[in-house]
Amino acid sequence: MKLKIGISNLQPGWEIILQQEGVSFEEISLDDPISINDYSVLIINKSISNLQHEHLNSYMENGGSAIINSKSLIEIEKLKLRSKKVKYCIPSKDSIFADLDLIDFYTRFHWLKSEEIQYMDSNLKIQYQKIGKGFLLILPFDVNSLILNAEFIRKKFWVDRPELPSEIVAKVSKGKIRQIISRCLQFLHNKRNIPMIQLWKYPNNWQNLFMFRVDTDFCSAEEAGALYKLCKKHKIRGTWFVDTASQETLQQVYCKMPDQKIALHCRRHLVFPDYETNKENIENGLSDLRNEGLSATGFAAPFGEWNGNLAKVLEEESFQYSSEFSLNYDDLPFNPAIDNRFTSVLQIPIHPISLGRLNRSHFSEEEMWDYYKVHIEDCIKKGNPIFLYHHPSHGKLQIIEKIFKLINKKKINILTYQEYADWWKKRNDQKIELDYSNNKLSCEMDKIPEDIFLRISKNDKYAMIEIEKEINLNDLKWQKSEKTGLKPNLGRIRKWHWRDALYDYESRKGRKNK
C-alpha cells in the first residue's frame, strides 16, 4: 500500500503544515471511489457532495482513516452542532496533546453533539468516530485560516515565578497547531497499524539544532566585539542581523568576523505599513553593507514585525530567508503565503523572549539563566529546535556564555541561518514515493540525498534511518517517544495584568522615536 496523505483541497495553510511535517501528500478528488491501499490518511477540508460522502464512507468502512472539519461533516450528516469562541485552550491532561501546554486559537470552535462520537480531547473538542473498520477524526477549527492568520498581540510566556516575561508575537500558536495535526496523523496511522513516514526536520539524524541570532540595533563596536569574542571562544557560528547606521561598527567589527554570517536588520529600526518606505529602508541598508564589501541574503525585521508589503520587498531584493516572531515563533521553517501564492523567502521562526525582555520583567541573573536552561532542556526532550537571539547592547554576556556552554556540553549541532535555509529548501524539493507491505518499506526518489533522513514512527515508537530503496522495519532500532506533562497553572499567562498596558505603551513609544 502507498503511504501518502490525500487532501481534498490543498489550501496554503494545510500545505505549509504538510511540508513542515515532511509527509508525502497530494490533492485528491472524491468523485471516484478511493482504495485504502492508495492513501494512508485522507484530509477532507471542503464541502462534499452526497456521492463524495459515499466514497469517503466506503474508504473508511474498508479500514481507511480520515480527518474532516466538523462544519464539512454536518452539511452531509445533519448532526447537531455546538459552537463557542475560543481564545486559548489547555489540552486535557491525559490526552496525546497534553505536553503542548496552552494553545492560542482566537477562533470559533464547532463540534458535534452525538452519542456515536467520542472525544479524543474534550478540552480541544477534537472528536473521533469508528466507521466500519476505519476511523474518522473530526476537527472543531479551520486549520487553513489559523495558519494564515498574520495578526500579532502581546503574550506572556510561562515561567515559575510571579511576574512573567512578554513579547508582541503571532496571535495564533501556529507551531502547536502543526503539532496537533502531526499527532492526529500519527494517531490515525496507528489505528491502521501502519507506519507514518516523514522527512526528518534536521540534517542527518541530528536530534536537535541550535542557531544563534544576533540583532545589533543600537549596539556599540565594543559591545558587538565582546559578543563576537565570546562566540569565537565557544565555537558558536552565529548569524548577525546588522543595523547599518554605524559605519564605524561595520568597519571595526562586522567586516572582521569571517566565521560568522552577516545578514540585514535595518538602516532605520522600523517596519513600515507601506511598500515604498520598507523598500527604501532595506535598499539603504544593503547599500551600507556593499560599501564595506559585505552582502546579505537574510533579514530579520525590527521588533520582529512582518507584513505583506515587507514580504514583497524581501522577495524583490532576493533575500533567501527572514525571521519575524510576529508572524510565527517556536516552529519549523515555512514559506509564507501572500496574494494567493507562496513567497520565495523562507521564514525561520525563533523563540521570541530575549534577555532584554527578561530584564524588563525584573528577572535576576540567576532567574534569567534558569529560564533559558529550562527552555533548552524542554526543547531537547521534545526534539524542538533551539533558536535563540540576543542584542549585544543588552550585555549580560555571562548568561550567554552559560547558554553556549550548555549547548556544547549537550553536543547540540550548530548551523547558521543560511546553512539551515539551504538545507530546508533542499528538503522541500524532495519528492518521495513510499510503498509498505509485510513490514517492509520501498522508497522511490529521483536522487537520494545523503543528509536527509527518514523518521519512521509506529505505535508510539520511532526510528531514524538513512533513505534506502528498501527498508525492513524489523531491522530498525526503535526508540520510545518521550512524554512530558502539562506545566502548572498555565491559565495565568493569559490573564491581563496592568504591566501589559505599560509594555504596550513602551512599545508604541519606541517605534515613534526611531
**Using an 8 Å Cβ cutoff, are 199 and 432 in contact?**
yes
Phi and psi at 3, nearest 5°, equal -100, 90
Torsion of CA 383, 385, 386, 392, to 10 degrees: 180
Give the residue, 396 or 514, on which the prediction is more confident. 396
Strands (E), 286-406: 298-299, 321-322, 337-338, 341-342, 346-347, 386-390
* 76 pLDDT above the threshold of 80: no
Determine the average pLDDT of the residues in 447-461. Answer: 92
**Using an 8 Å Cβ cutoff, are 134 and 64 in contact?**
yes
Indicate the domain borders of the chain: 210-423
347/417 Cα distance (integer angstroms): 10
Determine the average pLDDT of the residues in 14-20. Answer: 98
Q: What is the pLDDT of residue 104?
A: 98
| DSSP state string for 356-368 | HHHHHTT--HHHH
Nearby residues of 393 by Cβ (< 8 Å), 6 or more positions away: 217, 218, 219, 220, 223
85/309 Cα distance (integer angstroms): 30
382/376 Cα distance (integer angstroms): 10
Q: What is the pLDDT of residue 482?
A: 77
Question: Would you identify the CATH topology of the domain 210-423?
Answer: TIM Barrel (3.20.20)
Determine the average pLDDT of the residues in 232-250. Answer: 93
Provide the edge-to-edge strand list for the sheet that holds 461-466.
196-199, 453-458, 461-466, 479-480
167/355 Cα distance (integer angstroms): 12
* 437 pLDDT above the threshold of 60: yes
Question: For residue 477, with 0-12 CB atoms within 10 Å meaning exposed, 13-18 middle and 19 or more buried, which class applies?
Answer: exposed
**Using an 8 Å Cβ cutoff, are 401 and 314 in contact?**
no
3-state secondary structure of 169: strand
120/137 Cα distance (integer angstroms): 8
Determine the average pLDDT of the residues in 469-497. Answer: 90
Determine the average pLDDT of the residues in 87-107. Answer: 95
Between strands 346-347 and 321-322, the pairing is: parallel
30-45 residue pLDDT tens: 999 999 999 999 999 9
Indicate the average pLDDT of the chain.
Answer: 95
265/302 Cα distance (integer angstroms): 7
Grid cell, residue 330, equals: 517556536
Grid cell, residue 1, equals: 500500500
Q: What is the pLDDT of residue 103?
A: 98
Grid cell, residue 333, equals: 521553517
Determine the average pLDDT of the residues in 266-294. Answer: 95
Question: For residue 275, with 0-12 CB atoms within 10 Å meaning exposed, 13-18 middle and 19 or more buried, which class applies?
Answer: middle
Partner residues linked to 466 by β-bridges: 453
Q: What is the pLDDT of residue 80?
A: 82
Task: Name the CA radius of gyration of the chain, rounded.
Answer: 24
Determine the average pLDDT of the residues in 286-300. Answer: 95
Phi-psi region of 489 (alpha: psi -120 to 50; beta: other; left: phi over 0): left
**Using an 8 Å Cβ cutoff, are 231 and 255 in contact?**
no
Task: Please state, for a pLDDT cut of 90, what percent of the chain lies above it.
Answer: 87
